[in-house]
Amino acid sequence: MPKRQYVLALACYLSIPVVLIGGAGVFRLIDPELARGHANYARDYHLLEMTRTGAVMAAVGLALVLWASCCYLVLKSRHRSLGWLPMAAAGPFGFVVIAALEDRAPAPGDLYQQLIGKLRAYWRVPIEIALFVAVLVLTYNFVVLKRDLMIRYESFMTGTPVATIIDQQNTMSGMYAAAEGMEQLYLMTLVYLLWPIVFNLGGRLFMSRSRDAHLRGTSS
């Protein structure tokens, strides 16, 4: 199992979209026009507008706190200096640097940290670059696949031809490109958070199967 602080970091990161979606939901639910027909329409309208704007600002502020907490907990779990924490200001690209830091007190069963701890710089740097490129390609293709599936789902539910939906999206290509870019950046950080966990699980499974195969070979 990963360290408790690392699990908390992952929980903080997974909470970010929940907080942002919740803030956007509150913003849509509060309609300032609900004040229509009241004696103090102008005042009530202003209060409702401030409330829903405040909900969005609070959600964004909490998301930033969760992001900083995620980076902080990753550094603490690896016993690294908090001097690396300003890298969080660079967003997912700064987290790539934080994620590449070696754990100075790895758990006994942490196969990932054992591996990278043995690598020299002339091997480690190319591997980290290759990992970064692989994560970019993986997340980009995932976003493209998700977009295609959503288009086909909308076409199935509404009966609108796929080509028509694509043409409609092309008229707002800037908005869709920005949204997909944000999705890719979010997924990129998530992959970096999950990668050591997946590596350790795969390593343990491989070692277990190798041990079982060895035992069967010796018993026969």
Q: Which of 21-30, 36-45, 103-112, 142-151 has the lowest mean pLDDT?
A: 36-45
Residues 119, 218, single domain; the answer is yes
Residues 16-48: pLDDT tens digits?
999 999 999 988 888 877 767 667 777 888 888
- Are 86 and 165 part of one and the same domain? no
Asked whether residue 194 falls in the same domain as residue 138, the answer is yes
- Assigned domain for 99 exists: no
Same domain, yes or no: 213 and 182: yes
Q: Are 77 and 94 in contact (CB under 8 A)?
A: no
Give residue 119's pLDDT: 84
* Residue 45: domain span: 1-90
In terms of domains, do 139 and 176 share one?
yes
Distances (CA, A) of 26 to 23, 39, 54, 153: 5, 25, 10, 27
The model's pLDDT over 49-84, given as tens digits with 9 standing for 90+, comes to 898 899 999 999 999 999 999 999 999 999 999 999
Question: What confidence tier does 116 reach under pLDDT thresholds 50, 70, 90?
Answer: confident
**Is 120 part of a structural domain of the chain?**
yes
Residue 87 has pLDDT above 80, yes or no: yes
Judgement on whether residues 154 and 84 belong to the same structural domain of the protein:
no
Provide the mean pLDDT of the chain. 88
pLDDT band at 215 (very low <50, low <70, confident <90, very high): low
Residue 90 has a pLDDT of 93
Shared domain for 29 and 115, answered yes or no, is no
Give yes or no: residues 69 and 112 share one domain.
Answer: no
Q: Which helix (H) or strand (E) holds 54?
A: helix 41-77
Question: pLDDT-based confidence at 162, cuts 50/70/90?
Answer: confident
Half-sphere exposure of 50 (CA within 13 A, CB side): 6
Residues 123 and 165 placed together within one structural domain of the fold: yes
Q: Are residues 20 and 84 in the same domain?
A: yes
70 and 157 together in one domain: no
Residue 98: inside a domain: no
Residue 125 lies in a domain: yes
What is the domain count for the chain?
2
Which residue did the predictor score with more confidence, 149 or 175?
149
131 and 189 within one domain:
yes
